[in-house]
C-alpha cells in the first residue's frame, strides 16, 4: 500500500481533501434541507393556526351578529321613540331618582321582612 | 369715524329703563355724535335722562306718532349723511356706530342696513332661540363678521329696531305712513329703485321682548295684521295635528336650547316647557288671526291688539305718506328670492369621492382561508317600503347564506336622508315584520362598519358607497332591474348608467334578459340567476272555484314601468265592445280611477294574492323593464297571463308556458284578453302549461347561483391578490440581484 509521509502528500491526498469538501457540502445541504423542512413545517403549522383562528373569528362574528340582531329587536320601542336609556340614566336627575328609589327600598325592605316574619 | 357722518335717532315713549345705558354707550363711542330723541308723551324719566345726557329732544303729541311719519320727521331734523335708528328698548353693543360707518363706506349703493338683535340674559327661551337662529342666516358664509350686501331679490328683511339709512336713499323714497312695517315697506321700495340692502353683523343691539304670554299673543296679532296690510301676507290656519306637531317640535327645540345655551338642568328646562308650549301655541293661532285681523270689528281689534289699535284697510292701502310724498306701494311677494339655509350633503351619492380617490383597494388579509370558514356578507341596501320585491329577494339570499352557516349584515344606505329618523331597532323590526325573519343585524349608516368578506351593492346608489367601504375582500353588484330606466333624462339616470361599467364589481343579474342587456348596451359580463317562486304559497288550489270572465290586474299607476295605463285602456276597450269581465285591482294602496267598475283588493298579503290568483281567469301584470315576481306567482297558481312581446318575461320563459305575448298597445292587449277569456279550451291548455312553467323556479336554486357568484368573486380576488404578491416578490428579487 502506498503510504505518504507527513511532509509529502501522497497521490490520494487531493482526493481525500475533495472528499472532505464534498462531505462537508453534503452535510451543509442536508442541514439546509432539514432547516427548510423545519421552516415549511413551521409555515404549515402557522397557516393551520391562522386558519383555525380565522374560523374562530368568523364563528364569533356570526354569534355576535345573531345576538346583535336579537338585541335590536328587543329595543324596538326604545328606538321607535328615540329613547337612549343610557344617556337618560347618566343625567343628574336620573341619579337623584335612583337615590330616591334606594331610599324607598331601604324603608320598604325591612317592612316587608317584618311582614314576612309576622306571617310566619 | 367723524361724528358728523352719522346721526342717531331714538323714538321714545316711557323708555327710561333703557335710555341711560344707550346714551352712555353712544357718548362713549363718539362723544360728539348727533343724537335725537323724539318723545311722544313719556310720563317717566325719559325726557329728563335725555336732557341730562345733553342730547336733543323733540316732543310730539302722541296722536301725531306714526312709525313712518315720525321717522320722516327725524330724518328732516337731522343733517348727517347716515342716520341710524334705534327703538327705545334696543341697547347697542360696543362698536355699533363704527360698524355702520364702515359698512356704508365700503358699499356705495347700499341705501339701508340692519344689524342683529341679541337676547337679554332673561329673555324667554322661544324668543331668544328665534333671534339666535334668525340673524346668522344673513351672514356671508366665508366672512360671517363682515358687512354683506344682500342681493336685490333677497327677501327684504329690514327692522328699524336696529337700522341705518343713507340720507340720499331716504330722500328718494321716504318712509310710507303705515302703522307698522314701514321698514320692510322701505326695503321693498329700495329693491324697486335699485338701492341695495346690507346686513352688518357687528352693529349689534340687545333687544328682545319679554311680555306675558297673552301679551305675546297680542303682539303677534299686531305683527301679522301689519304684514297682511303691507305685504298682503296671509298666514294659513294650522290643522289640529300640525298645530300639535309645531308646538311639540318648537318646545323641544326650546328645551334643548335652554340646556345648551343657558346650562339649565333637565328639571329646570322642563319647568319652562309649559310656558314655551303656550308661547308657540298662541303664536300659531294669533298669527293667522292677525293676518285676517283687519276684517274684524274695531272693538275686537283693539282688544286683540297689544297697541290697542284698530285699523281700517282703505287708509292703509293708499301707500302714501301723510306728508304727501309718494311712496311706491309695496308689491306682493312675487319675484322675491328667499335665502335658503344649507341642507343635505354636498356629495350624497359619494360620486365625487370615487371620482377623485377611486375605489378603496380590496383587503387581501380578508381572503385568508375563505373556502374553509364561514363568510361575512354585508348587503348595502337602499331604503325600502313594505313588501318591496327587490328587498324580498335580497332577504331570501340573506336567509339562504345564514342557513349555510355564514353571517350577514344589512346596511341601509340613505343618501337623501329619507330614513334618518329610523334607529337600528326600527329598521330591524321592519325587516322582520314586513318581510321575513333573518338573523342579520341592521345598521342605519356606516358609522359601525366593521369590514366584510364580501360587500354586496343592491341598487345603483349603493354602488358608490360599496366602492368606498374599507376592509372588504370582494365586491358584488346585485342588479335586479335596469335602474336607469326608472328615471327620465337626469343626473340620476347618468349616475345609474355609470355603475355598470365601474371596475372592481362582479355583477349578478336577476334573469338572463338583464344580463344580456348589460352585455349588449354596456359591454360588461355578468352572472345571472332566475327569480324563484315560493311554491308553499303560490300553487294551484283544487278547491278554488274560478270566477268566469275575471281579470286580476296589477294596478300600481305610480310605477310607470309597470305600464298600468295600457292595461286600463285595454280593459276599457273590452267594456266598450260589451265584454265586461270582473276586474280585481291589486298592488296599490289607493283605488285608482278607471273607466269601468272594478273590485279593489289593495296591497294584499302573499296568501291573499295566492287565493286571488286561484279565483280569477286571467292575470295581467306588465313590466316594461325586467320581469317581476308577480306573473311568475300567477303562473304558479295556474293562472294564464297576458304580457308584452319582446320583453324580459318572454326571454326568460319562452312560448307555450301559459303566457300570451302581444304588442304593447291597448288594442292588442284587449284582443289577447278577449281570446283568453272567451276560449275555454285555450284557457285550459294555458292554465296547465302555466303551473308547469314555474315548477323549476325555486328560490333555493336562485340563491345557489348567487352564492356561486359570491365564491367566484372571492376566488377572483384571491387570484388577483396572489398575482400581485408574485409580482411584488419578483420585484423584490430583482432589486436584491441588482
Where among B654, B671, B693 does a domain terminate? B693
Using one digit for the tens of pLDDT, what is the confidence trace for B170-191? 999 999 887 677 888 898 888 7
Per DSSP, the residues of B595-653 read SS--EEEES--HHHHHHHHTT-SEEE---SSS--HHHHHHHHTT--EEEETTSHHHHHH
B191 and B241 belong to one structural domain:
no
Same domain assignment for residues B385 and B513: yes
pLDDT top residue among B708 and B41: B708
B218 and B131, same domain (yes or no):
no
Residues in chain B within 8 Å Cβ distance of A55 = 369, 372-374
Asked if residue B342 belongs to a domain, the reply is no
pLDDT in tens, B495-538: 999 999 999 999 999 999 999 999 999 999 999 999 999 999 99
Tell whether B406 is within 8 A of chain A (Cβ). yes
Together in a domain, B606 and B683: yes
Identify whether residues B26 and B133 lie together within a single domain.
yes
Residue B522 contacts by C-beta under 8 Å, 6 or more apart in sequence? Answer: B497, B500, B501
Chain B contact for A62 (CB, 8 A cutoff):
yes
| Residue in the block written with cell 301679522 | B224
B478 vs B317, residue with greater confidence? B478
From first CA to last CA, the distance across chain A in angstroms is 117
A77 and A98 inside one domain: no
Q: What CATH number corresponds to the domain at position B397?
A: 3.40.50.11090
- Cβ pair A58:B407 closer than 8 A: yes
- Give the Cβ contact number of residue B600 at 10 Å: 14
**Are A76 and A19 part of one and the same domain?**
yes
Q: What is the ipTM of this complex?
A: 0.70
- Band the pLDDT of B728: cuts 50, 70, 90: low
Q: What is the predicted pLDDT for the residue at A1?
A: 43
Cβ-Cβ contacts under 8 Å between A and B: the total is 79
B193 touches chain A (CB under 8 A): no
- pLDDT (0 to 100) of residue B222: 87
Please give the average pLDDT of every successive group of 10 residues along chain A, which has 120 residues: 52 75 91 94 93 91 96 95 91 92 94 92
Q: Which residues contact B357 (CB under 8 A, 6 or more apart)?
A: none
The average pLDDT across B546-554 equals 91
Query: What's the domain range around A27?
Result: 14-82
| Cβ atoms within 10 Å, residue B115 | 29
Confidence of residue B144 (pLDDT cuts 50, 70, 90): confident
pLDDT of B727 strictly over 70: no
Q: Are strands B56-59 and B506-510 parallel, antiparallel or unpaired?
A: unpaired
Query: Which of A86-95, B275-284, B695-704, B723-732 shows the lowest per-residue confidence on average (mean pLDDT)?
Result: B723-732
B263 has pLDDT over 60? yes
CA–CA separation, A95 vs A99, rounded Å? 6
Q: Which range marks the domain in which residue B370 is found? A: 354-529
d(CA B23, CA B396): 76
Query: Does B596 contact A at CB distance below 8 Å?
Result: no
B487 and B605 assigned to the same domain: no
How confident is the model over B399-421, as pLDDT tens digits?
999 999 999 999 999 998 889 89
What's the total number of domains in chain B? 4
**What does the radius of gyration of chain A's CA atoms come to, in whole angstroms?**
41
Do A74 and A37 fall into the same domain? yes
Residue-wise burial string across B49-66, b where 16 or more C-beta atoms lie within 10 A, e elsewhere: bbeebebebeebeeeebb
- Judged by a CB distance cut-off of 8 A, whether residue B556 touches chain A is no
Q: Which of B693, B713, B731 is the last residue of a domain?
A: B693
Residue B366 sits at the chain A interface (C-beta within 8 Å): no
Q: Is some CB atom of chain B closer than 8 A to the CB atom of A90?
A: no
- The end-to-end CA distance of chain B, in Å, is 76
pLDDT of residue B302: 87
How far is the C-alpha of B643 from the C-alpha of B566, rounded, in Å?
11
CB contacts of B408 in chain A (<8 Å) are: 65
Q: Are residues B465 and B501 in the same domain?
A: yes
Cα-based torsion angle of the residue sequence B503, B506, B512, B513 in order, rounded to the nearest 10 degrees = -30
Check whether residue A18 and residue A72 sit in a common domain: yes
Taking residues B77-85, report their average pLDDT.
94
Question: Within a domain: residue A5?
Answer: no
Find, in chain B, the residue whose alpha carbon is nearest to that of A90.
B266
Q: Indicate whether B716 belongs to any domain.
A: no
CB contact under 8 A, A78 and B425: yes
Between strands B34-39 and B117-118, the pairing is: unpaired
Mean pLDDT of B96-113: 91
Any A CB within 8 A of B398 CB: no
pLDDT digit string, tens, across residues B416-443: 888 989 999 999 999 999 999 999 999 9
pLDDT band at B363 (very low <50, low <70, confident <90, very high): confident
Section B554-578 average pLDDT: 93
pLDDT tens digits for range B593-641: 999 999 999 888 889 999 999 989 999 999 999 999 999 999 999 999 9
Facing residue for B372 by CB, picked from A55, A65, A91: A55
* Domain co-membership, A55 together with A92: no
Grid cell, residue B417, equals 336622508
**B475 has which bridge partners?**
B455
Mark whether A75 and A115 lie in a shared domain. no
Asked if B424 reaches chain A (Cβ–Cβ under 8 Å), the answer is yes
Please check whether residues A30 and A40 belong to one and the same domain: yes
Q: Which of A44, A50, A58 is the best mutation test for B, with the most CBs of B within 10 A?
A: A58
Q: Half-sphere exposure of residue B33, counting CA atoms within 13 Å on the CB side?
A: 27
pLDDT above 60: residue B322: no
Same domain, B358 and B426: yes
On whether any CB of chain A is under 8 Å from the CB of B395, the answer is no
Mean pLDDT of B56-70: 89
Say whether both A23 and A56 belong to one domain.
yes
Query: pLDDT value at position B729?
Result: 60
Contacts of B428 in chain A (CB under 8 A): 69, 72-73, 76
Shared-domain flag, residues A69 and A54 = yes
Under 8 Å between Cβ of B364 and B714 = no
Answer yes or no: is pLDDT of B164 > 90: yes
Does A79 lie at the interface with B, CB-CB under 8 angstroms?
yes
Candidates B685, B706, B100, B695; CA nearest to B401 is: B706
Residues in chain A, total: 120
A2: in domain: no
Q: Let me know whether B376 and B524 are in one domain.
A: yes
Contact B425 A58 (CB under 8 A): no
Residue A6 inside a domain? The answer is no
Binary contact (A65, B441; C-beta < 8 A) = yes
Of A62, A72, A77, which is closest to B407 when you measure between CB atoms?
A62
Residue A106 Cα, gap to closest chain B Cα (Å): 25
Query: To the nearest whole angstrom, how far is the Cα of A25 from the nearest Cα of chain B?
Result: 24
Of B110 and B411, the structure prediction assigns the larger pLDDT to: B411
Highest mean pLDDT among B299-313, B330-344, B554-568: B554-568
What CATH number is attached to the domain comprising B579? 3.40.50.2000
**Cell matching residue A75:** 329595543
Task: Tell me what pLDDT residue B349 has.
Answer: 87
User: B698 pLDDT exceeds 90?
Assistant: yes
- DSSP secondary structure code for residue B501 in this structure: G
Q: Which residues contact A27 (CB under 8 A, 6 or more apart)?
A: none
Q: Is residue B144 part of a domain?
A: yes
Residue whose C-alpha cell reads 308689491 in the numeric block: B331
Asked, for residue A64, whether it belongs to a domain, the answer is: yes
Q: Which of A103-112, B3-12, B712-721 has the highest mean pLDDT?
A: A103-112
Q: Is B437 near chain A, with CB under 8 Å?
A: no
Query: Is B224 part of any domain?
Result: yes
Determine the average pLDDT of the residues in B304-330.
55
Q: pLDDT tier at B4 (50, 70, 90 boundaries)? A: confident
Select the residue from B425, B442, B450, B473 to test the A interface by mutation, using most A Cβ atoms within 10 A: B425
Is A102 among the domain residues? yes
State how far the Cα of B485 lies from the Cα of B251, in Å rounded to an integer: 45
Structural domain includes residue A118: yes
Say whether A76 and B425 touch across the interface (CB within 8 A). yes
Taking every pair of C-alpha atoms in chain B, what is the biggest distance, in angstroms? 110
CB distance B409–A50 less than 8 Å? no
| pLDDT, average across residues B334-343 | 60
Q: What is the pLDDT of residue B319?
A: 39
Q: Does B18 share its domain with B158? A: yes
CA distance B329 to B402: 72
Q: Identify from A43, A52, A72 which residue to disrupt to test chain B contact, counting B C-beta atoms within 10 A and taking the largest count.
A: A72
Does a structural domain hold residue A8? Answer: no
Residue contact A80–B429, C-beta within 8 A:
yes
Ramachandran region, residue B243 (left: φ > 0; alpha: ψ -120 to 50; beta: rest): alpha
Do B389 and B483 reside in the same domain of the chain?
yes
Shared domain check, B219 and B200: no
Residue B567 within a domain: yes
Q: Which residues of B touch A59 (CB under 8 A)?
A: 374
| Residue B325 placed within a domain | no
How many angstroms away from the CA of A37 is the closest CA of chain B? Answer: 21
Q: Does A83 touch chain B (CB under 8 A)?
A: no
Q: Does B442 touch chain A (CB under 8 A)?
A: yes
B252 touches chain A (CB under 8 A): no
Greatest Cα pair distance, chain A, in angstroms, is 120
Tell me if B222 is assigned to some domain: yes
> What phi-psi label fits residue A10: left (phi over 0), alpha (psi between -120 and 50 degrees) or beta?
beta
Contact A93 B408 (CB under 8 A): no
Q: Do A111 and A59 share a structural domain?
A: no
Structural domain total, chain A:
2
Could you tell me if residue A4 is inside a domain? no
> Cβ separation of A76 and B429 shorter than 8 Å?
yes
HSE value, Cβ hemisphere, 13 Å, CA-based, for B40: 17
- Say yes or no to pLDDT of B323 above 50: no
| Burial of B443 (C-beta count, 10 Å sphere; 0-12/13-18/19+) | buried
CATH number, domain at B149? 3.90.550.10
Whether residues A26 and A68 fall in one domain: yes
Q: State pLDDT tens for residues B206-247.
A: 998 878 888 889 988 988 888 887 777 788 898 888 899 999
Average pLDDT score over chain B: 88
Give the torsion through C-alpha atoms of A93, A98, A101, A106, to 10 deg. Answer: -130
User: Nearest C-alpha of chain A: how many angstroms from B403?
Assistant: 12
CB-based contact (8 Å) between A76 and chain B? yes
Q: Is residue B373 part of a domain?
A: yes
Residues A50 and A96 in one domain: no
Q: Which residue in chain B has the smallest CA separation from A56?
A: B373
Amino acid at each position: 500500500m502506498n503510504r505518504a509521509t507527513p511532509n509529502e502528500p501522497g497521490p490520494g491526498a487531493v482526493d481525500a481533501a475533495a472528499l472532505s469538501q464534498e462531505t462537508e457540502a453534503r452535510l451543509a445541504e442536508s442541514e439546509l434541507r432539514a432547516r427548510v423542512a423545519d421552516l415549511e413545517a413551521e409555515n404549515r403549522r402557522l397557516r393551520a393556526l391562522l386558519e383555525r383562528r380565522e374560523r374562530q373569528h368568523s364563528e364569533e362574528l356570526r354569534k355576535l351578529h345573531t345576538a346583535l340582531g336579537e338585541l335590536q329587536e328587543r329595543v324596538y320601542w326604545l328606538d321607535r321613540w328615540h329613547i337612549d336609556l343610557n344617556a337618560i340614566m347618566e343625567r343628574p336627575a336620573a341619579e337623584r331618582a335612583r337615590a330616591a328609589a334606594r331610599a324607598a327600598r331601604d324603608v320598604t325592605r325591612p317592612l316587608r321582612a317584618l311582614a314576612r316574619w309576622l306571617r310566619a | 369715524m367723524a361724528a358728523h357722518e352719522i346721526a342717531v335717532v331714538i323714538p321714545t315713549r316711557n323708555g327710561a329703563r333703557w335710555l341711560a345705558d344707550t346714551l352712555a354707550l353712544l357718548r362713549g363711542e363718539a362723544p360728539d355724535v348727533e343724537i335725537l330723541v323724539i318723545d311722544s308723551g313719556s310720563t317717566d324719566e325719559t325726557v329728563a335722562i335725555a336732557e341730562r345726557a345733553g342730547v336733543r329732544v323733540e316732543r310730539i303729541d302722541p296722536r301725531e306718532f306714526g312709525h313712518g311719519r315720525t321717522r320722516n320727521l327725524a330724518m328732516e331734523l337731522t343733517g348727517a349723511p347716515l342716520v341710524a335708528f334705534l327703538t327705545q328698548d334696543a341697547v347697542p353693543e360696543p362698536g355699533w356706530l363704527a360698524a355702520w360707518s364702515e359698512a356704508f363706506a365700503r358699499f356705495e349703493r347700499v341705501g339701508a342696513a340692519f344689524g342683529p338683535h341679541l337676547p337679554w340674559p332673561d329673555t324667554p327661551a322661544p324668543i331668544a332661540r328665534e333671534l339666535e337662529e334668525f340673524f346668522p342666516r344673513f351672514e356671508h358664509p366665508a366672512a360671517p363678521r363682515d358687512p354683506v350686501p344682500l342681493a336685490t331679490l333677497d327677501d327684504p328683511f329690514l327692522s328699524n329696531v336696529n337700522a341705518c339709512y343713507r340720507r340720499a336713499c331716504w330722500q328718494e323714497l321716504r318712509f310710507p305712513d303705515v302703522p307698522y312695517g314701514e321698514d320692510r315697506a322701505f326695503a321693498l321700495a329700495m329693491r324697486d329703485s335699485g338701492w341695495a340692502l346690507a346686513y352688518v353683523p357687528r352693529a349689534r343691539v340687545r333687544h328682545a321682548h319679554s311680555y306675558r304670554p297673552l301679551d305675546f299673543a297680542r303682539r303677534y296679532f299686531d305683527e301679522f295684521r301689519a304684514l297682511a296690510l303691507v305685504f298682503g301676507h296671509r298666514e294659513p290656519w294650522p290643522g289640529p295635528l300640525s298645530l300639535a306637531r309645531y308646538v311639540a317640535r318648537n318646545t323641544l327645540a326650546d328645551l334643548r336650547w335652554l340646556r345648551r345655551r343657558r346650562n339649565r338642568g333637565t328639571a329646570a328646562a322642563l319647568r319652562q316647557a309649559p310656558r314655551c308650549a303656550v308661547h308657540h301655541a298662541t303664536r300659531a293661532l294669533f298669527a293667522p288671526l292677525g293676518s285676517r285681523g283687519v276684517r274684524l270689528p274695531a272693538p275686537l281689534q283693539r282688544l286683540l291688539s297689544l297697541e290697542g289699535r284698530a285699523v281700517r284697510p282703505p287708509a292703509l292701502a293708499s301707500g302714501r305718506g301723510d306728508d304727501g310724498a309718494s311712496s311706491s306701494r309695496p308689491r306682493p311677494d312675487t319675484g322675491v328670492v328667499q335665502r335658503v339655509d344649507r341642507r343635505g350633503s354636498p356629495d350624497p351619492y359619494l360620486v365625487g369621492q370615487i371620482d377623485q380617490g377611486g375605489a378603496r383597494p380590496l383587503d387581501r388579509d380578508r381572503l385568508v382561508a375563505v373556502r374553509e370558514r364561514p363568510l361575512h356578507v354585508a348587503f348595502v341596501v337602499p331604503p325600502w317600503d313594505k313588501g318591496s320585491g327587490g328587498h324580498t329577494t335580497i332577504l331570501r339570499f340573506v336567509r339562504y347564506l345564514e342557513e349555510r352557516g355564514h353571517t350577514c349584515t344589512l346596511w341601509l344606505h340613505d343618501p337623501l336622508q329619507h330614513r334618518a329618523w329610523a334607529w337600528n331597532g326600527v329598521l330591524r323590526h321592519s325587516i322582520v315584520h314586513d318581510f321575513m325573519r333573518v338573523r342579520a343585524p341592521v345598521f342605519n349608516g356606516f358609522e359601525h362598519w366593521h369590514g366584510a368578506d364580501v360587500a354586496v351593492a343592491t341598487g345603483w346608489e349603493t354602488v358608490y358607497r360599496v366602492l368606498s367601504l374599507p376592509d372588504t375582500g370582494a365586491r358584488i353588484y346585485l342588479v335586479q332591474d335596469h335602474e336607469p330606466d326608472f328615471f327620465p333624462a337626469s343626473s340620476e339616470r347618468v349616475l345609474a348608467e355609470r355603475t355598470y361599467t365601474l371596475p372592481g364589481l362582479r355583477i349578478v343579474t336577476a334573469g338572463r334578459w338583464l344580463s344580456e342587456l348589460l352585455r349588449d348596451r354596456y359591454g360588461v359580463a355578468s352572472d345571472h340567476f332566475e327569480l324563484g317562486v315560493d311554491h308553499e304559497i303560490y300553487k294551484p288550489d283544487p278547491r278554488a272555484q274560478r270566477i268566469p270572465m275575471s281579470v286580476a290586474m296589477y294596478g300600481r299607476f305610480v310605477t310607470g314601468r309597470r305600464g298600468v295605463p295600457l292595461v286600463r285602456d285595454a280593459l276599457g276597450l273590452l267594456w266598450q265592445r260589451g265584454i265586461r269581465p270582473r276586474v280585481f285591482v291589486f298592488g296599490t294602496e289607493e283605488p285608482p280611477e278607471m273607466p269601468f267598475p272594478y273590485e279593489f283588493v289593495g296591497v294584499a298579503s302573499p296568501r291573499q294574492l295566492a287565493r286571488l290568483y286561484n279565483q280569477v281567469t286571467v292575470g295581467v301584470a306588465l313590466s316594461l323593464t325586467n320581469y317581476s315576481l308577480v306573473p311568475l306567482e300567477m303562473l304558479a297558481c295556474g293562472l294564464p297571463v297576458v304580457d308584452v312581446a319582446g320583453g324580459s318575461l318572454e326571454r326568460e320563459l319562452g312560448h307555450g308556458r301559459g303566457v300570451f305575448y302581444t304588442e304593447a298597445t291597448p288594442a292588442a292587449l284587449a284582443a289577447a284578453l278577449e281570446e283568453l277569456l272567451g276560449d275555454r279550451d285555450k284557457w285550459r291548455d294555458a292554465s296547465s302549461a302555466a303551473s308547469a312553467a314555474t315548477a323549476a323556479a325555486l328560490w333555493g336554486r336562485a340563491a345557489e347561483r348567487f352564492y356561486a357568484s359570491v365564491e367566484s368573486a372571492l376566488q377572483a380576488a384571491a387570484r388577483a391578490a396572489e398575482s400581485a404578491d408574485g409580482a411584488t416578490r419578483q420585484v423584490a428579487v430583482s432589486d436584491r440581484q441588482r
